[in-house]
Chains A and B, each alone.
Chain A
Amino acid sequence: MAEELKLVRGYPEYMLESIERVHATRAKRMEEGPPPAMSMEEREEVLRFHPDYAPGGKRPLNVGPNKGEIAPNEVADLLEAYPVVDPGDLDLSVDIDVEVLILGGGLAGTMAALWANEEGIPPDRVLLATKLRHGDSNSVMAQGGTQAADKPYDSPVIHFLDAYGGGHFTNKPEVLRALVEDAPFIMKWLTELGCLFDRDENGEFVEDWGGGTSRPRMHAARDYTGMEELRVIRDEFRNRGFMLLEFYPAVELLTSPEGRVNGAILWNMETGEYKVVRAKAVVLATGGFGRLHIRGFPTTNHYGATADGLVLAYRAGAVLRDLDTVQYHPTGAAYPQQIVGLLITEKVRGLGAQVVNREGECFVYPLEPRDVEAAAIIRECYERELGVVTPTGMRGVWLDSPMIEEIHGEGTIERRLPAMFRMYKRFGIDMRKDPILVFPTLHYQNGGVETDPWGRTNVPGLFVAGEVSGGVHGKNRLMGNSTLDCLVFGRRAGIAAARYAEECPRPGPITLGHVERFVEELRAAGVPEGRRAPILLPDYRGKRVLARMIDLL
């Protein structure tokens, strides 16, 4: 085997000088504290460095309900794409007939199933179909926590204000109000199901600060918050005996002649067979679009986050909103190469770690809203040239994780951030002793299918919940509001879908008429024929293999 790059404590030797500087400046930095939070004017100035604000990344849509509005190029490419199945070529005889069809197996989809059942639909009349395994989702990766204003010093109104300001006052107010008012109930309900949130010695919830929150209200389960929430409600889902299809993504919605959504075409990713599902109501809980790697950014998202739900809903006539902003998490891993882009939860900064440049200077207040924090890090690396360059040519700044142990005592990292500690340990880095290198990473789809407070869309029969929906976070989501979004609107969409199904006597004939009409619109707009969606999965196969591939079987 050839010689490998020599690593010291997991880092290439050339980085050590900068690491030592971080160590050397720590005591002074801790004493002085971080720089103050930016004024509104300073924020505007730094936001020029945010990928959303830098020109060249977006274009107006040429077709569909949001024609004329702008979206990231990568998203526009999928919204303006031809279907993967030929609508005139499919046998639409029904394979499965249910009351409620749920697309997506994360927190939102699972909640929708449970609450459709609570609303009276029997489990064997609810089908949950998901592209990967039940639970493979961004939900299980949520580390930091779930916001709920349940302490006496806090109130849903203050939670509302925080999220509204964080979203630059573009959130849909009545939807946001539902989010914050349901939050305490969600915590109570989950706890009664046996979900374990961190507690203090008096049995009270431990509640932490998050970026952009004016009160500590973040409920965490170590740094496995989403995992704990999901595995508890998934266990409940399994106990109740719902119908489940895994590795069955939806590739198209079905509509009645009047345009109501009444089913979907599911595709078995392993055998290639499709199934036609007829349903009185469909809940779309398919998640976001991180795996589109917008502007070439790495992502925190799971393998299946490819915007399928947006594509399907748009063709069925659903109105989208706030797609023009994308959330880049300020701190993704920038080194080592094996974990580039993975989430370094905001909780690390919440626990006191500062963001520090190559010279050991803390250059930004650590808990700015995410877009501001991310832009400041990009500016530090690419304009001020004070970042650290990795062996693969990426740049990053230090997150001074050893400060956490200094502030809160030895053992805090292993106790409060076991997942992250474990991840770095696997690659030879001890984050208790050395800082970690970070750079912004594509994290969250702020906008999506417009919804009312009950997950209803402008298309009858179509309900949405979770990251695929738009409005509740406006143009920027705060930490701890995404798991909450899934839990609150998964529940509400499940209830609304169940009520709709009960009131709807028959689902009506199923057609792909909406797809045919959309294809005509695409042709009229001159969209190139080769572009197809949904893409279902990203493609990371080696370039050499792809160049020499022939399809024989």
Chain B
Amino acid sequence: MERLGYELAELPRWNCCGTVYSLSTDDLMRHVAPVRNFVRVQEMGEGRLVTLCAMCYNTLRRSAQFVSADPERLQRINAFMDEEPDYRGGVEVLHLLQVLRDEITFEAVEAKVERPLYGLRVAPYYGCMLLRPRGVGIDDPDRPETMELLFEHLGAEAVDTPHRVECCGAYQTVADPGLARERVAEIVGAASRRGADLIVTSCPLCTYNLERHQLVAGDGRGTGARHASHVSRHGIPVLYFTQLLAFALGVPEEELGFADAAIDPRPALSQRVGG
């Protein structure tokens, strides 16, 4: 972000967004964790909270709306958290993609590109948490274009895939790995058929699922790998959008964690972009 002239400050004493409990039936308890983070933002004297993760974004944004919609709920949460200053409301939750699009602007990003991604075919994968429900999502839930536009400004070609706004299987990966594998096979299969070099995500869990289940499916041992034949043996590398962005902005490769990827993205990148 420094390269883009934009400063993000880390929240002191941040806690988990509370996503594990985001579907809990207890309406109030699940908002304690998000609101505590908002209190920290307030204590910093700031009004906006940026997150990198689609799931955190969804949880935090929905909580922000939940408490601002009903002052009585907020009062009850504040009363429970009596050891903290009251949350007064008003913290705006943003996904980093929004910051890039609306504040920095993709044009400004383009101006800083040092390694244009000409020739690289990138399939954006949004998943569900970033776009739904309407009113929380950062873009049109059916026809999003934020990532497509970003990649084009980085010089790459955005590959349109039919499953880019569908679920990756999420936490079912624990309870029913077969189901997640099936989802991944479809998503990756479609990207593969359309000739994508890379899939790019905005959520760590999507990244995990897309990488891991691809490998299992690719080995032909996956139980639900109906589309296994469409997936190359080596799979399609999966990157976080920030990794691709930083690569285009000229951040040294060693800092980008490529070596930790389950499917090495470096061959694809060097082949197309020339490293």
Q: Do chains A and B touch in the complex (CB under 8 A)?
A: no
A residues with CB within 8 A of B: none
B residues with CB within 8 A of A: none
